[in-house]
Amino acid sequence: MEFTSYGFIPNIASSLISAYYTNKVFSNIDFASVADPQAVQDMIFADPSMKIASILGIIFTLWSANIWIFGVKYARDLSLRNAVITVGIPIGLGLLYTILTVFVLR
């Protein structure tokens, strides 16, 4: 756990940056004038700041994955290939979900 816990440090920075962009998007929306929740969701995802936050989140996730690969490699005495497979499958699925929901299905 000690080796892989360092991989969460980029997530702290990513959360701070995402909070800034989310605050920026929400400050531009007048929630009182829009009654339809779907319209509010469309306005949120239409803002380019949300796409920037998503791209930065992907970059920070890849940074975390890099740290986790070497953490798993040394903690479990795995080959680099096996460590990449161990970390890459869940990270790859998570990134695929993020890319599909934010960039493709919108």
Convert the pLDDT of each residue in 13-69 to its tens digit.
Answer: 999 999 998 898 888 887 777 778 888 888 888 888 888 888 999 999 999 999 999
- Residue 104 CA neighbour count, 13 Å, CB half: 7
* pLDDT of 12: 93
* pLDDT of 25: 87
| Model pLDDT for residues 65-106, shown as the tens digit of each residue | 999 999 999 999 999 999 999 999 999 999 999 999 888 886
Burial of residue 24, with CB atoms counted within 10 A of its CB: 0-12 exposed, 13-18 middle, 19 or more buried: middle
Residue 11 has pLDDT above 80, yes or no: yes
> Crossing angle for the helix pair 48-76 and 9-27, nearest 10 degrees?
170
Give the residue extent of every domain in the chain: 2-29+38-104
- pTM for the model stands at 0.84
Number of neighbouring beta carbons within 10 Å of residue 58: 17
